[in-house]
Structure 1
Amino acid sequence: MKSNPTKKQYPDIGTVTYNVSIRSKRISIKVKADGSVVVAMPVYTDISTAEKFLLSKSEWIKAAMRRVSKRKQAPKLYTASQENITKFHHLEIGTHASADEVKIFIKNGAVSVFYPQMLNVEDARVQNSIKKGITLALKKESVKYLKPRIEQFAKKFLLPIGEVSFRDNKSRWGSCSGNNNITLNIQLMRLPDELIDYVILHELAHIKHKNHSPAFRKYLDTLLGQNSRALEAKIRNYSPYL
């Protein structure tokens, strides 16, 4: 069951979309990659209750919107070769004599991008090719590293994990469905190990707790062996945008 969305305007936030869905177990707020705000509501939750929750989180929402706006205004440029562009790959950028072709190679731990001498490295074609190469490397690494890692943790903590899939998501590091299917963001392969494990264990904790209640937080802390709040603060310094 899913009803038609309700849209409301707020002076400091803009348009907010309220969605009611049978899959929602609690009221949650999401600031999407385009800066729009969506509130997910359980069935039979009235708008006034959801609105009260929204307004109580207004400072968090505005901060999240500022982060999204900053990312949109200042896209990252890759102008030189660099080490550790992903967990297992470095980036090589160079020119070649071809008239108009941008070439991408992923081999021996390198994402290599060669562009025509007539182009500037900041040209959109070159930048898009670099990001495409990095994305391909991240997909390969996710299957190689993240899948065994989450399976290892699921076995260790006796958690009945469903299917594991990978996406290039611009707003979430991971998610866990009602059927315990877990989706992980391939951009995790650019994070430090402790934050990769934090996201994996966060999603595994949702197998037992389909919410962010105090019980969920306590269980996550147990899985991590430390207070999850510190890691949650650290991951806010990273963006899933290339």
Structure 2
Amino acid sequence: MHWQSIPVTVTRSHRARKVWLKMRSCQGLEIVLPYRVSTSEVPAILERHQKWIQSHLAQLSARNEAPGQNPLPEAVELPFLGRAYRVQYETGPRTRLAVTGDMLRIFLPQGETLAGALVLQRWLVEMGKVNLAPLCRDLAAAHGVGISGVRVRNQQGRWGSCSARFGISLNAKLLFLRQELARHVILHELCHVEHRNHGPAFRSALRKLDPLTVSHESEIRRAWDELPGWSKLRAKGG
């Protein structure tokens, strides 16, 4: 459905206790409903949150990430690596990406914008496996933290996580951060191996490993909104 020319998708969640609105880069508005809320209430929800919707739409437009805008970048900057890549698009029968020095060549069928974004995401994950995973293992060893493994994915909602079996999962988007910020996220997850919540013991342990925790956390909170739109696109049905 559309509302004032904005694509709107409605989903339900067993975990949702209230209505959630999410303005997704390049894709439009998602409304998450608890099962107790009828879809017949959607028009009223849209009207009630009109100012919020328009405000967030304006923010996306300023970053060229509003619905209908082309999210594919002309360049990709990875501050973690201190590198920038130019991106060249070529028409081809199937989607693929080739790296030549600092050039990313993306081949994709005509008009397959989403496919271009997804192949860039897969490349980002591979770069994360090569660069983020070794850093995590090195930091774990340096601080005597036992972990069962490291995974790198293109996660949608968090920078990282620590499983009950002490496996660390890192978001490939950490490559968009400076190294000291990515390092803080990794240390945060390593602290969860011993401290499963964010209580005083966890905070104390994290500050010992990173004395600049407060300022780093502030920067990291702001960084999510500044991520490029193509990195946040999801496959249809995903």
> TM-score by structure 2 length?
0.62
Read off the aligned partner of 2:154 and give its amino acid letter: D
In the TM superposition, what whole-angstrom CA distance separates every residue of 1:177-202 from its partner, at most 9, and x where no partner exists? 12111111111112111111111111
Structure 1 runs not aligned, ≥5 long: 16-30, 39-62
SS in 2 for 1:172: coil
- Match of residue 158, structure 2, among 172, 177, 196: 172
The within-5 A match list for 1:51-130 is 74=66, 77-78=70-71, 81-82=74-75, 84=77, 87=81, 88=83, 90-95=85-90, 104-114=97-107, 123=111, 125=112, 127-130=113-116
User: Which fold has the larger relative contact order, with Cα–Cα distance below 8 Å and residues 6 or more apart in sequence?
Assistant: 2
> TM-score by structure 1 length?
0.62
SS in 2 for 1:221: helix
Distance 1:170 1:32, change over 3 A: farther
Distance 1:175 1:231, change over 3 A: same
Counterpart-to-counterpart distance in 2, 1:216 and 1:79: 40
CA contact (8 A) 2:88 2:103 kept: no
In the TM superposition, what whole-angstrom CA distance separates every residue of 1:44-64 from its partner, at most 9, and x where no partner exists? xxxxxxxxxxxxxxxxxxx9x
Distance 1:137 1:91, change over 3 A: farther
Read off the aligned partner of 2:210 and give its amino acid letter: L
Give the structure 2 partner of residue 235 of structure 1: 220
CA contact (8 A) 1:82 1:91 kept: yes
State, as a whole percentage, how many aligned pairs show the same letter: 23
In the TM superposition, what whole-angstrom CA distance separates every residue of 1:110-138 from its partner, at most 9, and x where no partner exists? 3212567xx5xxx4x1x324312321221
Counterpart-to-counterpart distance in 2, 1:210 and 1:113: 42
1:105: how far off? 1.8
Read off the aligned partner of 1:170 and give its amino acid letter: Q
1:203 aligns with 2:219: no
CA contact (8 A) 1:78 1:130 kept: no
In the TM superposition, what whole-angstrom CA distance separates every residue of 1:135-194 from its partner, at most 9, and x where no partner exists? 122122111111110111111110111121121111011000121111111111121111
Distance 1:78 1:32, change over 3 A: closer
Give the structure 1 partner of residue 173 of structure 2: 187
- Match of residue 161, structure 1, among 147, 169, 178: 147
Structure 1, 152-161 or 101-110: larger mean CA deviation: 101-110
In the TM superposition, what whole-angstrom CA distance separates every residue of 1:23-49 from its partner, at most 9, and x where no partner exists? xxxxxxxx99756499xxxxxxxxxxx
CA contact (8 A) 1:35 1:68 kept: no
Give the structure 2 partner of residue 45 of structure 1: none
Distance 1:7 1:36, change over 3 A: closer
In the TM superposition, what whole-angstrom CA distance separates every residue of 1:85-105 from its partner, at most 9, and x where no partner exists? 574551322446x6x666532
SS in 1 for 2:116: helix
CA contact (8 A) 2:72 2:117 kept: no
For these two proteins, the number of residue pairs brought into alignment is: 185
Counterpart-to-counterpart distance in 1, 2:175 and 2:214: 21
Distance 1:168 1:83, change over 3 A: closer
Structure 2 runs not aligned, ≥5 long: 1-13, 25-29, 35-51, 232-238
1:230: how far off? 1.2
